[in-house]
Homo-oligomer: A and B are copies of this chain.
Amino acid sequence: MKKITGSITTPTGFLASGVKAGLKKSGKEDIAIIYSETAAATAAVFTTNTMAAAPVLVSRNNIKKGNARAIVINSGSANAGTGDLGLKNAEEMVKLAAGHLNLPTDQVLVASTGVIGVQLPMDKIAAGIAQAKAGLSVNGGENAMLGIMTTDTFRKVSVYEQQLGGKTVRMAGIAKGAGMIHPNMATTLCFVTTDAAVAPAILDKAWRDAINLSFHMITVDGDTSTNDMAAVMANGAAGNKVIDQASGQDYELFYDMLKAVCTDLAKLVVKDGEGATKFLEITVSSAPSFAAAKTAAMAIAKSPLVKTAFFGQDPNWGRILCAVGYSGAQADPAKTSLMIGGVPVVKAGLDAHPDHQTLKKVMAEKEIKVEVELGLGKEQATVWTCDFSYGYIKINAEYHT
């Protein structure tokens, strides 16, 4: 498996575009279409938020057959908290895109992101979708990525290539950040294209597993959005033998590539977390179960006291152990150890008296590993998060509705 440069149009048979429809105050790209020129297997996961946005409701329905060929996305407005009219507008977006692309409506997914509670300006949307259709091209991946961004400060893309059953298979993904990030079935918007040939049911399983170990392992602020959606389209243009079972070498190779793309994107989302100055990789090991390890790691990752301590470059291990303690995961202080940046800080629940200069250097780094050993079993989990800074407050207190 080789990491390559490119975009979501790098896999064969995919076109994309991103256009400026006037939805964003900034005037930047705000409508995108991703399109497979041929039939595709498609899988998607969605937010579990009961206040799910209209596009989530529509796409949840349209994914059922697993053969969607196009995704139309707008940024600038979330089409959430918009009731019946919002639902009608999401359906209209699907209809417009399906009409232009000559597809049945249930082969089109729709996604929105932006401010909650405002109705979509359907005239601008309609013109934007027409323009986006006209602009579809193998060079449109870059603009499509711009079209899904909101408070993101940099582009989030990941592309891989590998030999699979004697054929060259490519896979590419894009994602948006940067706030309201917390896992619950899906997080943020994420779209992956691949020219691998995979049966819909197998793609669905691989997708869920890959998301569970990537987007479900990150948190920025503990808020699960109303608009979360992650979808993958596999059109088989690479010509490999169709992967039709969830085992064997081809499946493993495909799954590893999928996990790599999702993990890359999930980490990029965290790195661009609102106001983030530090990227934290938190591993809890020797836990009685994966669930317990994840629970403890997520409690650390979500703790405002831990996150502000890292922003302040303070190795305040008491806050880390405190978070483990209230997480609900089984823990025994006398068996708990902690390393920060590879430096033993706590041994058997007690201060390990690390060298202050060494620790100071570690805390000053941009990327820091936090490793907790519970001493209670053999399972482990790794989550990724960022620190909590003045920047987070600034972005979120000044982002006015």
Contacts and interface: CB of A to CB of B under 8 A. Distances in A.
A326 B223 contact: yes
B118 A351 contact: yes
Nearest to A325: B51
A312 B115 contact: no
A117 interface: yes
A223 B222 CA distance: 13
A315 B400 CA distance: 8
Contacts of A223: 303-305, 319, 322-323, 326
19 contacts: A50-B331, A51-B325, A80-B318, A83-B350, A116-B317, A117-B317, A179-B305, A221-B304, A222-B222, A223-B305, A223-B326, A226-B318, A304-B392, A308-B393, A309-B397, A314-B397, A316-B400, A390-B394, A392-B393
B83 A397 contact: no
Interface in A45-89: 47-52, 78, 80-83
Interface residues of A, number: 68
Given A117-B317, A226-B322, A396 B305 contact: yes
Contacts of A332: 50
Nearest to A308: B396
A330 interface: yes
A131 interface: no
A188 to B, nearest CB: 14
Interface string A122-145: 000000000000000000000000
